[in-house]
Amino acid sequence: MKDVVVVGGGLAGLAAAWRLRHWDTVLLESGSRLGGRIRSERRGRYWLNWGGHVFAGQGSSTDVLLTEAGITAAQVPGSLAGLAMNGKLLLKGRIETYPFRIPMPLSSRVALVKTGIKVGGQVLRYANIVRQRPGEDPAVRQQRVYDFENGRSFRDFVGDLPGDAEALFRPTVTRSAADPDEISAGAGIGYFSLVWNMGQGLSRGIVGGPSTLTEGIATVLGDRVRLDTEVVEIVHKQRSVVVRYRQNGMDREVEGRYVVLATPATVSHRVAVDLPQDIREALGKIVYGPYVSAAFLTDESTPQPWDDAYAIATPKRSFNIALNQASLLRGSEQVRQPGSSIMTFSPAGLARTLLEKSDEEILRIYTDDLDQVLGSGFGGSVVESQVQRWETGAPYCFPGRGALQPALMRRGSRVLLAGDYLGTLYTETAIQTGFSAAQEAVSLLATERQQGRVRSLPLAAG
């Protein structure tokens, strides 16, 4: 019997398996690669990226994992607040000035200023809500964040806006994977807080690309990882848990004293059949929105206007943001080297439209829009491009989501939940909940050992 069976090889499962690496563990992953919604690939000095791209900074669980695994991350040097709209590309200056620098009808400009003041006031309130109070349990803070303006949608909060005003607000809110009428008002406001307070929150890049972290951990875990292994059912016994899985067309099972269940909530709801009813019901109510992303490798040899930008919001396009994945390299160059790596990102309604199309069609639409946004030479400089579909791109905070949190946080069974759906900071939540589940497992195993039920000791560190 294993001490712990980890199910799911995304960041949450990998963080848990990393913390449990001196115990007798196995990690079961249904896909043929580790990383889940983290996916990047090296191309010489550049990397293509399709998934999570910016990460939490100092003092975060992400920072601890990166340090322990010996992976380098740095603040992305490029601006996080570029904007391309109505034929204008803005890469510098204060965001408050943008509505006056983008050509648009007066009605939209007036609505933007009015709504900007309204949202700005709530962003100040939000800053107070998210602040960790001294000595406070992080779970209490997380509940407060979920409960903030959780009774209505962001659309209900801002009301109907004229065309260009609505278009300018949309890319920030929909990064959540939800459209403005799907996301709660509080979560929408939280996104503006994240974008306006640049430098805080998620703004570090991983040198070599995000998969450097997941692949680094995978190397250390070695043969404790089983790929192409789909878990279909998890059932408690009196003092253990049976994990049933399918591998190479065969049904198999493994028994563990504890399970860290780090699959998306939709899967966890389906496979963990005997979890307490309220927890299982809460898992079934988590909602994910879709993303479509694409990565472009280019070979241009001259400096580009967007070299100093990391993120450029692109209202009214097929993607809502273009991300310069060469930003970390640009920041350390004396002389601009040839080539670049650009990621496009279409959430929620934009993704739903694209998901119906072929990859070739999506790439053609993206390239046309990139030509408009970054300059007409862009398409000609592309040497490689690839689409990724994420049907469960991210869990979002909908009106009423806060009420599910107490059940999801309750422990008591031998199946310990982990994953980004348990909090509001994506990769940071995934890693933090993976660590927390691992710590709980270690603590319970230690107690069982004292009681003489576990004979195994942690393996020698190394």
Ligand X SMILES: Cc1cc2nc3c(=O)[nH]c(=O)nc-3n(C[C@H](O)[C@H](O)[C@H](O)COP(=O)(O)OP(=O)(O)OC[C@H]3O[C@@H](n4cnc5c(N)ncnc54)[C@H](O)[C@@H]3O)c2cc1C
Per-position x/- string for 262-291, each x denoting binding to ligand X as judged by CB under 6 A, each - no binding = xxx--x---x-------------------x
Question: Sheet containing 82-85: which strands, arranged edge to edge?
Answer: 88-90, 82-85, 311-313, 321-324, 340-347, 288-298, 382-395
For 204-242, letters b (16+ CB in 10 Å) and e give bbbebbbbbbbbbbbeebeebbeeebbbeebebeeebbb
**Both tokens assigned to 191:** 């996104």
For ligand X, which is the closer residue by CB, 262 or 441?
A: 262
One of 16, 20, 54, 195 touching ligand X (CB under 6 A): 54
Question: In whole angstroms, how close is the CB of 447 to ligand X at the nearest point?
Answer: 27
For ligand X, which is the closer residue by CB, 37 or 317?
A: 37
One of 41, 63, 156, 230 touching ligand X (CB under 6 A): 230
For ligand X, which is the closer residue by CB, 114 or 244?
A: 244
Q: How far apart are CA 55 and CA 432, in angstroms?
A: 12
For ligand X, which is the closer residue by CB, 25 or 115?
A: 25
Question: In whole angstroms, how close is the CB of 263 to ligand X at the nearest point?
Answer: 4
Q: Does 12 bind ligand X (CB under 6 A)?
A: yes
Radius of gyration of the chain, Cα coordinates, nearest whole angstrom: 23
One of 5, 8, 24, 189 touching ligand X (CB under 6 A): 8
Q: Does 52 bind ligand X (CB under 6 A)?
A: yes
**What secondary structure letter does DSSP report for 42?**
E
DSSP run (H or E) holding 142: helix 138-147
Q: Does 31 bind ligand X (CB under 6 A)?
A: yes
Closest CA to 288 of 268, 318, 313: 268
Q: Where are the alpha helices (H) located in 161-210, listed in sequence order?
A: 163-174, 185-196
One of 7, 161, 282, 417 touching ligand X (CB under 6 A): 7
What's CA 171's distance to the chain center, in Å?
Answer: 16
For ligand X, which is the closer residue by CB, 169 or 319?
A: 319
Question: In whole angstroms, how close is the CB of 34 to ligand X at the nearest point?
Answer: 7
For ligand X, which is the closer residue by CB, 18 or 157?
A: 18
Question: In whole angstroms, how close is the CB of 291 to ligand X at the nearest point?
Answer: 4
Question: In whole angstroms, how close is the CB of 267 to ligand X at the nearest point?
Answer: 4
The footprint of ligand X on residues 311-350 (CB under 6 A) is 345
Is 402 strand, coil or helix?
Answer: helix
For ligand X, which is the closer residue by CB, 47 or 426?
A: 426
For ligand X, which is the closer residue by CB, 32 or 376?
A: 32
Q: How far apart are CA 460 and CA 157, in angstroms?
A: 56
One of 6, 17, 20, 28 touching ligand X (CB under 6 A): 28
Size of the site for ligand X (CB under 6 A): 38
Question: In whole angstroms, how close is the CB of 271 to ligand X at the nearest point?
Answer: 6
One of 26, 51, 414, 416 touching ligand X (CB under 6 A): 51
> Is residue 263 a contact partner of residue 11, using CB atoms and an 8 Å limit?
no
Closest CA to 158 of 191, 201, 195, 197: 191
> Is residue 289 a contact partner of residue 394, using CB atoms and an 8 Å limit?
yes
For ligand X, which is the closer residue by CB, 104 or 194?
A: 194
Question: In whole angstroms, how close is the CB of 256 to ligand X at the nearest point?
Answer: 14
One of 90, 202, 342, 354 touching ligand X (CB under 6 A): 202
Q: Nearest 5°: phi and psi at 34?
A: -90, 165
Per-position x/- string for 366-405, each x denoting binding to ligand X as judged by CB under 6 A, each - no binding = ------------------------x--xx-----------
Cα separations (Å) of 127 from 56, 274, 295, 387, 454? 17, 39, 34, 36, 46
Q: Nearest 5°: phi and psi at 292?
A: -120, 135
Question: In whole angstroms, how close is the CB of 186 to ligand X at the nearest point?
Answer: 19
**Both tokens assigned to 436:** 């927390």
Question: In whole angstroms, how close is the CB of 254 to ligand X at the nearest point?
Answer: 12
**Both tokens assigned to 379:** 């398409």
Closest CA to 351 of 172, 125, 174: 174
Question: In whole angstroms, how close is the CB of 294 to ligand X at the nearest point?
Answer: 10
Task: Provide CB contacts within 8 A for 70, sequence distance 6+.
Answer: 216
Q: Which residues bind ligand X (CB under 6 A)?
A: 7-13, 28-31, 36-38, 51-55, 202, 230-231, 262-264, 267, 271, 291, 293, 345, 390, 393-394, 419-420, 426-427, 430
